[in-house]
Structure formats: structure tokens, C-alpha cells
Structure 1
């Protein structure tokens, strides 16, 4: 994995066309982007687009939303850098949660572990992502906050 240049994050609205296009192109959900409580970022490095990511808070817990990096930029460590920024930005004392159908190995490399859905707090299970958007076959993963 190559060294990455510092990311330049900027907040972006859930209905921003570039966010919707990037997620759709990556095969990621776009049905709930404008629901309240979501926080999305567009990322650039050296002036070039490097991806998008987001999260939503539920009390002390955080649900990570889709992270997407342009296919031509994959393998440069950008996904990990975006993930690190989202975790730092989200803060919180509780665990960080996510659902994935295809990226479990990526998240496992970054300290997440797969858990049964019954281990998630009710607030996470009640999200539209957990309750309706992600299939029951999606892997639920979690990571405790940094000490």
C-alpha cells in the first residue's frame, strides 16, 4: 500500500450529486442519504477527488455509512485514511458500527470485528440501514473507540 497525501475533507450534503453518483457507481445504497442526522464528507488529496464517506450518531454509538474511493485510486490507502477521519470526526464514547456486504476484510484490517446483529444496540438496529436497506446477509461489524 502506497503512502497517501493528507486528505482535504469538506462537509457535503446527502443530496450532493457527486456523492450520489459516486455511491451509485460503487454499488452502494443511496436511498437514505438525506435523512436527518447524517454527516457526509467529500475528500480530495493534492486537489484530486479521492472519495466520500459518512456517519450518523445514535447516542454514544456511531453508525458508519458508505465509504467509496474511485476505482482508479484504490490500493493507495485512501479508504483507510477516510475511515480514520470519519472515526475521529464522529468521536463518541460508544462503539462504532457498520454493515457491509462486500468490505468485511477491509474493515477487519482496521480493527473491526464481525458480530451477530443481536449484539448491536437497539438504536443501531432501528436505523433504516439495519432495518431495511442492508440485507439480512450483510455483515454487522463493530469496533470499540480508541482509549
Structure 2
């Protein structure tokens, strides 16, 4: 019988790409920070019921697609459903904004995203608006795994 996971209740607070907590969390997780302040990105600090920040996440909306980026939970908070809850919140936001498919690039978290409906894709399958983003064209290495999943509003 599959394990039932109860996702924590989180509050998503919009933050600027220049937020020092975002940059520190990404740097600690060895994730890119080069283009956080560029226009067209939306970032959030996720906090629990006590108000403590338990992770960060963000997205871009190139065309009618979403690019999930900068999803990070500090190592001490992993394995508690926080990342799943954050991802679900981001997917809800981009679907409500009209995106029909979510894309991402990852070096180390393919299993996490695979368990949440994303599947690996070849770079030639990436739509031109997503491929034209700075994340896809210069920030993420060519060795990053490309993944996507369809969205429903």
C-alpha cells in the first residue's frame, strides 16, 4: 500500500530576486544565482505556521509555458513534504496564470521531480520560448536534466 504523505500548510510570500535569504539558500544548495534580479521572474519565500521560512521557489512564464526555478529547501528541512507543498503551490500559480506545461532544468533533483509527475525530455523537445530563457541558454549547464509535465488549471 502506498505511503500517504500529508503536506504541510505553507504561506507563499512574494519576494524580489534580490532577497538575501533567497540567494543564500540557493548558494548553500549549489544552485545558480546569476540571474535572480533579471525581470520576468517571480520568487516566493515559503513559511510554516510559526512564520519560519522553510524554503524558496520561483518561476518564469515564457509564452504559454512555465519554467520552475530556484526550488530549494534547506537540507535540515528535507523529507518532510515541504518541497512537495512548495512545488504544488508554484504549479497552481503558473496554471492559474495560463501556462499549459511546466518545464525545469536540474542537476541533482530529477528523482524528486520525477515522483511528482515530471518526465525527462530531450533538449530538442523544449519549446523555443523556454529554450530562449537565460536559465536554459546560459545559466544551467548542458548536462542538466530537462523535465516537464502538463498542467491543468
TM-score band w.r.t. shorter chain: over 0.9
- Contiguous gaps of at least 5 residues in structure 1: none
CA RMSD of aligned residues (A): 1.3
Give the TM-score taking structure 1 as reference length.
Answer: 0.95
**Is 1:100 aligned to residue 106 of structure 2?**
yes
Give 1:2 deviation, angstroms: 5.9
| Residue pair 1:9, 1:44 contacting (<8 A) in 2 also | yes
Render the CA deviation track for 1:77-118: whole Å, top value 9, x for unaligned: 000000000011112242110000000000000000001010
Give the TM-score taking structure 2 as reference length.
Answer: 0.92
Render the CA deviation track for 1:94-143: whole Å, top value 9, x for unaligned: 21100000000000000000010100111111111111111111000000
Choose from 20, 29, 32 the match for 1:29: 32
The SS at the match of 2:12 is: strand
The corresponding residue for 1:11 is 14
| Residue pair 1:2, 1:75 contacting (<8 A) in 2 also | no
Give 1:5 deviation, angstroms: 2.8
Runs of 4+ in 1 over 4 A off after TM superposition: none
The SS at the match of 2:79 is: coil
**Is 1:142 aligned to residue 148 of structure 2?**
yes
